Structure 1
Amino acid sequence: MKVKKFQSDKAFSVKKFSDSFKMIGETIKHNPWTFVGYLIFTVIDSILYSSITIVVSQMTKSLTTDGQKGNNFLGLSMQWYSWAFIGLAILMLIVVFDYLTNVFTALFSKKVEIYLRIKALKKLVEIDISYYSKNQLGLIMSRVINDSQGSGDSFNDFLLNLLFTSVSFTTMMVFMYMIDPLMASIIFAIFLTLVVIVWVLFVYYRRAIIISIDVKQSIDADITDRLINIRAIKANAAEDRETMRNKELHRKYDEKLSRVIWLQSSLTFFSYTFAWSLPIVAIISAMGLYGNSMDGAELTNLIVAFASATNNILYSLMTLPVWMRGLTKLSNCIMRLNHIYDSKSLLEFIDNPQKVGDIETITFDKVTFNYPESPTKKILPEVSFTFEKNKSYAFVGETGVGKSTIAKLLLRFYDVTSGELLINGKNIKKIDHVDYLNKVGYVEQEPQILYGTVMENLKYPCFDKTDEEAIAAAKKAKIHNYIEKLPKGYDTILGERGFMFSGGQKQRLVIARLFLKDPQLLILDEATSALDNVVEREIQSELDKLMVGRTTVVIAHRLSTIKNVDEIIVLDKDGVSQKGSFDELKEKEGRFKKLYTIGLMK
């Protein structure tokens, strides 16, 4: 398993951070008041915490200056008990604003997560289908789930701690400079030195954590892929092999994570150890500078004031790694999500497309097709033919000649490589995509079943249909009796990908959807391939009724599926080799007769 090399280029890092704030900015735009509350309550909360230091310092000064006569503060005469009442009031306010800060920071964090998830999922359902052949589904879902949540949580770690650090540090430095500029300058210089050292350590930590996260996501994607294909593992008795394989993958992750833990521990140890030394430094500095020039009470007041202030500043130093780590994690999560956001769809949709109306004709005009994933390999050579309303057509041929490709082009999963696909004489690229597909019914060789109830699957996407109409469709597809025997009938939850249904039952369920949709264009891509002969005949009789008065395109091998169509189109590697009815082609020398003779069409 390969992991991308860490990119240390400065411009790349700046772009990652700018992308991060751009995404957060979009979230703020959609949730302005939540973010305003986040900022206001966090700033007020941090000011209140910092002001406790001032209260303690001034109360001490009141008690040590002229007994209990008090002292002047900003022109006001204050007694020690005045400061005590102020301290109690601040503590009560801290409780209130602490609560509000926690609520609004958590709310905005979840707003970020939800916004990024919806943005990613919107892109994933809109992008063309070729995207999924180039990208691992497990990796995509890992990014949508983990990185959207990681973005919200890491932004909270970053901004919350940065605000507390900045406000607290600024408040304390102003307070210290008011008392003694020389002492304050010493503390400020030491703080900056510690910040530089912490930042250097953090750069190495950042590199290690990026690599470890990439390794973890690759493993998560691999595990997802294996579990999706669990039947292949069990059918080949490969459980032990997969266990050993997982151990090897996680051994590599353990190596990368161990480096992260060592660096994180060093960073935390250094930050905390030197942070706790600040009050001691303040006391030593005060004694060294003023031990022989100040009286005891005055020196005591100075030491208490600076010890309290530096004790507050040490929180700023201790949270440096937290908000740095939050910023880095945020930028990395957004970077991985941008792999989804920045993906370009191969399909383009124009503004103000034309409504298709009733489907009268469908024309393939000198159409060729190469899959975008393999642009040099021609799947469909140049073909031309027209489908007319109320007629049925079947495509036959050996595997790999492009039969199913015809269906994918009709559904506009892909655009043609050259030529034109025309619906009522209009290029399919210029018609209203939704309006057109609402008139199309599709049953494929591998039925798509969604997680949910039987009824929800039946009504997809005909959500406006009644339960009675859905049940009637199930009866036509000969699956109603089976559904009735399920534990909760039509309210039974189908497992992921219809796990509890057999292949034939899933196909009948999808055919029931077709009956319910009642479309103008039917596309049947080996729609009865998973059914036994008896059930196939029953369903085919219903499909024959549904085909009346509609344009139908059938892709199949079985005789029972194509013998009644109006025209059969035979494809080979050079394109269309024959056209005609079943009875005509089985007597005419050519590809169809050969397929029929060797039994492929029986």
Structure 2
Amino acid sequence: MSTPSTSGFNTLQKLWPFLRPYKWVLAGALAALVVTAGTTLTMGKSIQLLIDQGFIGESLEQLNQTLVWMFVAVVFIAGGTFARFYLVTWLGERVTADLRQAIFNKIITLHPSYFEENRSGEIMSRLTTDTTLLQSIIGSSLSFALRSFVMMLGGLAMLFITNIKLTLIVLAVVPLVLIPIIVFGRRVRTLSRKSQDSIADVGTYAGEIIQQIKTVQSYRHESFEQVAFSAEVEKAFSVAKQRILQRSTLISVVILLSFTAIGSMLWVGGYDVMNGNMTGGELAAFVFYALLVASGVASVSEVLGEVQRAAGATERLIELMDEESLIQSPTVPAPFLASHAIHLTLDKVSFQYPSRPDTAALLNVDLEIKTGESVAIVGPSGAGKSTLFELLLRFYDPQQGQILLNGTDLKALSLDDVRHQMALVPQQPTLFSSDVWHNIRYGKPDASDEEVKAAAKSAYALEFIEKLPQGFDSYLGENGVRLSGGQKQRIIIARAILNDANILLLDEATSALDGESEFKVQQALDKAMENRTTLIIAHRLSTVKNADRLIVMDHGEIVDMGTHADLMKTSSLYQKLAERQFSE
């Protein structure tokens, strides 16, 4: 089994692809490190000369020469330290920025079911907390550890050159120093991973409560949530406390053993000076190098704890980077056919959600939708209506059967081609924390201001937008909190109109609105549906009576289809749905 320090560094080696583009910056930092370390090591010999020939030998010339050299050495050390600190800190910031970008690029390509199985707070913790920790390690701690390691090796070499007997005394303690590094390092790495996970739990819990703040306050659960959040915080603190205890123990044990060796060495060295076996300058130089070695060992042992913590964070990031999306474009996509008489075809499609593999959300569905046709999909809750939309957008792939777009299997087309053909208006509108321009233009990022305004007008949204405090420049707040439900829905419809997709997917777009808002939104939808193939998931049958065709679904199957008039005569399920709604 590898030691924790080794496995920790092996894990950090996976960051090399992010460091490779800046290898010359890294080389410059290492060169500055070598210069400063080498210059610092000459200071011991300068001290020896200063004492033996300057003070004891009473040579003013030697005293002046040694002090001049020491001043020059200090200038080199200062310059080298500046270069090393700047380059390494820059490298840490740059690599962290690249890493965050790479992780974000990965996240937004993952299949939607990944986000159903993993908490958003956990993912955000990896994107922010873990990368910040790595920035600290790469930009500071690792540089400090390398400097200490180089000084430790150089100091050992100078110890042998200065006095072999005293060096052997120091080396006798090295095995005793390595043992606690190995033992405690393993524990620190395990606890570091647990600590990062517990911090993610805290962020996830807080984020969920903030999102549901109105529910919390309406049920008067402020005190309850304060206590619950306190438990999460204390849990994270408990893990951190264990990690801190292990690191503190490691550092203190290493320092104790290191300076015990120095004390023993000083006793032996002092005895030799008094007996004339070595000079006072040699002892002073040896003490200087011994202190460099001891401080280097202590520093490396301290930073090893940070490295173990960074290894834990790196493991979490690499797990995310290695995650493969279940929904991907083919390596060589089929060419997209611009027009076809049959726009969409579902051929014996069956599907089960990964979280519910034993329950069929869709079962043996056969359906053809002509270009330009408006088709309403109705049925009780859980009938599979929304699942149908998710398969059309290729958020999931069916386990059996195939879906064709203009005669070509969706899985043979690129995801861009598939989703470019469709615009979704969901039941719960989703807006971004930005202004009106951004939210509508999301349907077509390169749209001109005139195109955005035209889309807003077609969606019957222009009137209320112009009455906002800053018009199209108005900030809408998180998920459009400053707008009513009907206004948010019309912004979404304007986005879909601007997108100008050939297929419009309407998922119960008016079910949660009051009568007046529903009327205005329905007007906007009628405008958006012109000259487009339209699929409408309808809760209110009154809004889809005039559709070209109605599909009745139940338990994942298509049980009936036809016009409203036909279904009122032939479909018992449709009759029940209609009688219940129209009687109300």
User: How high is the TM-score relative to the length of structure 1?
Assistant: 0.91
Q: What is the rounded CA distance, in whole Å, between the counterparts of 1:359 and 1:236 in structure 2?
A: 54
Q: 1:47 aligns with which of 20, 23, 38?
A: 38
Change (3 A) 1:494 1:44: farther
Give secondary structure in 1 for the equivalent of 2:112. coil
Q: Does 1:342 align with 2:333?
A: no
Q: Which residue of 1 aligns with 2:207?
A: 224
Does the 8 A contact of 1:396 with 1:555 survive in 2?
yes
Does the 8 A contact of 2:503 with 2:532 survive in 1?
yes
Q: Which residue of 2 aligns with 1:494?
A: 476
Give secondary structure in 2 for the equivalent of 1:571. strand
- By how many angstroms is 1:133 displaced? 0.6
Amino acid at match of 1:312: L
Q: Percent of aligned positions with the same letter in both sequences?
A: 26
Amino acid at match of 1:27: F
Q: Which residue of 2 aligns with 1:571?
A: 553
- By how many angstroms is 1:437 displaced? 1.6
Q: 1:37 aligns with which of 9, 28, 38?
A: 28
Change (3 A) 1:251 1:574: closer
Q: 1:371 aligns with which of 329, 348, 353?
A: 353
Q: Which residue of 2 aligns with 1:6?
A: none
Q: Which residue of 2 aligns with 1:352?
A: 332
- By how many angstroms is 1:278 displaced? 5.0
Q: Deviations over 1:37-56 (max 9, x none)?
A: 22222232233333323322
Q: What is the rounded CA distance, in whole Å, between the counterparts of 2:6 and 2:407 in structure 1?
A: 51
Change (3 A) 1:344 1:205: closer
Q: Deviations over 1:458-490 (max 9, x none)?
A: 100311111121122112222223222323221
- By how many angstroms is 1:414 displaced? 0.6
Q: Which residue of 2 aligns with 1:448?
A: 430
Q: What is the rounded CA distance, in whole Å, between the counterparts of 2:140 and 2:569 in structure 1?
A: 77
Q: 1:437 aligns with which of 414, 419, 428?
A: 419
Q: Which residue of 1 aligns with 2:455?
A: 473
Q: What is the rounded CA distance, in whole Å, between the counterparts of 2:416 and 2:384 in structure 1?
A: 25
Q: 1:245 aligns with which of 228, 234, 242?
A: 228
Q: Which residue of 2 aligns with 1:62?
A: 53
Change (3 A) 1:105 1:13: closer
Q: In terms of mean alpha carbon deviation, does 265-274 or 580-589 score higher?
A: 265-274
Q: 1:403 aligns with which of 371, 382, 385?
A: 385
Q: Which residue of 2 aligns with 1:304?
A: 284
- By how many angstroms is 1:424 displaced? 1.6
- By how many angstroms is 1:559 displaced? 3.2
Q: What is the rounded CA distance, in whole Å, between the counterparts of 2:184 and 2:539 in structure 1?
A: 66
- By how many angstroms is 1:18 displaced? 2.6
Q: Deviations over 1:199-219 (max 9, x none)?
A: 434444444444333323222
Does the 8 A contact of 1:392 with 1:553 survive in 2?
yes
Give secondary structure in 2 for the equivalent of 1:457. helix
Q: Does 1:21 align with 2:3?
A: no
Q: Deviations over 1:144-203 (max 9, x none)?
A: 111111122123455313321222122222222222222222222234433434443444
Q: Which residue of 1 aligns with 2:121?
A: 138
Q: What is the rounded CA distance, in whole Å, between the counterparts of 2:252 and 2:88 in structure 1?
A: 28
Q: What is the rounded CA distance, in whole Å, between the counterparts of 1:440 and 1:211 in structure 2?
A: 43
Change (3 A) 1:589 1:363: closer
Does the 8 A contact of 2:344 with 2:406 survive in 1?
yes
Q: What is the rounded CA distance, in whole Å, between the counterparts of 1:255 and 1:506 in structure 2?
A: 44
Q: Does 1:380 align with 2:362?
A: yes
Amino acid at match of 2:396: Y
- By how many angstroms is 1:317 displaced? 2.2
Q: For the aligned residues, what is the CA RMSD?
A: 2.4
Q: Which residue of 1 aligns with 2:293?
A: 313
Q: Which residue of 2 aligns with 1:75?
A: none
Does the 8 A contact of 2:433 with 2:477 survive in 1?
yes
Give secondary structure in 2 for the equivalent of 1:123. helix
Amino acid at match of 1:388: K
Change (3 A) 1:323 1:420: same
Does the 8 A contact of 2:460 with 2:524 survive in 1?
no
Does the 8 A contact of 2:424 with 2:506 survive in 1?
yes
Q: What is the rounded CA distance, in whole Å, between the counterparts of 1:565 and 1:146 in structure 2?
A: 51
Does the 8 A contact of 1:451 with 1:494 survive in 2?
yes
- By how many angstroms is 1:503 displaced? 2.4
User: Number of aligned pairs?
Assistant: 582
Q: Deviations over 1:383-429 (max 9, x none)?
A: 10111111111100000010111111111111112101011211100
User: Tell me, which stretches of 5 or more residues in structure 2 are unaligned?
Assistant: none
Give secondary structure in 1 for the equivalent of 2:442. coil
Q: In terms of mean alpha carbon deviation, does 232-241 or 251-260 score higher?
A: 251-260
Q: Deviations over 1:257-296 (max 9, x none)?
A: 33333333333333344444554333212133453243xx
Q: Does 1:326 align with 2:306?
A: yes
Q: Does 1:265 align with 2:282?
A: no
Q: Deviations over 1:525-584 (max 9, x none)?
A: 112223332332333234323323221111112234312211111111261111111222
Q: Deviations over 1:436-467 (max 9, x none)?
A: 32221110111121122111111003111111
Change (3 A) 1:409 1:19: same
Q: Which residue of 2 aligns with 1:118?
A: 101
Change (3 A) 1:199 1:265: same
Q: Which residue of 2 aligns with 1:5?
A: none
Does the 8 A contact of 2:151 with 2:296 survive in 1?
yes
Q: What is the rounded CA distance, in whole Å, between the counterparts of 1:601 and 1:518 in structure 2?
A: 38
Q: In terms of mean alpha carbon deviation, does 106-115 or 400-409 score higher?
A: 106-115
Q: Deviations over 1:99-121 (max 9, x none)?
A: 11111111111123122212211
Q: What is the rounded CA distance, in whole Å, between the counterparts of 1:169 and 1:552 in structure 2?
A: 73
Q: What is the rounded CA distance, in whole Å, between the counterparts of 1:539 and 1:504 in structure 2?
A: 7
- By how many angstroms is 1:601 displaced? 9.7
Q: 1:418 aligns with which of 400, 404, 416?
A: 400
- By how many angstroms is 1:248 displaced? 2.2
Amino acid at match of 2:73: I
Change (3 A) 1:240 1:325: same
Alignment of 1:87-166 (within 5 A): 87-166=70-149
Q: What is the rounded CA distance, in whole Å, between the counterparts of 2:556 and 2:381 in structure 1?
A: 14
Change (3 A) 1:132 1:208: closer
Q: What is the rounded CA distance, in whole Å, between the counterparts of 1:225 and 1:247 in structure 2?
A: 15
Change (3 A) 1:156 1:143: same
Q: What is the rounded CA distance, in whole Å, between the counterparts of 1:388 and 1:16 in structure 2?
A: 59
Amino acid at match of 1:88: F
Q: What is the rounded CA distance, in whole Å, between the counterparts of 2:581 and 2:285 in structure 1?
A: 98
Give secondary structure in 2 for the equivalent of 1:31. helix
Q: Does 1:280 align with 2:280?
A: no
Q: What is the rounded CA distance, in whole Å, between the counterparts of 1:186 and 1:10 in structure 2?
A: 29
Q: Which residue of 1 aligns with 2:64?
A: 81
Change (3 A) 1:320 1:280: same
Give secondary structure in 1 for the equivalent of 2:74. helix
Q: Which residue of 2 aligns with 1:188?
A: 171
Does the 8 A contact of 1:278 with 1:310 survive in 2?
no
Does the 8 A contact of 1:112 with 1:148 survive in 2?
no
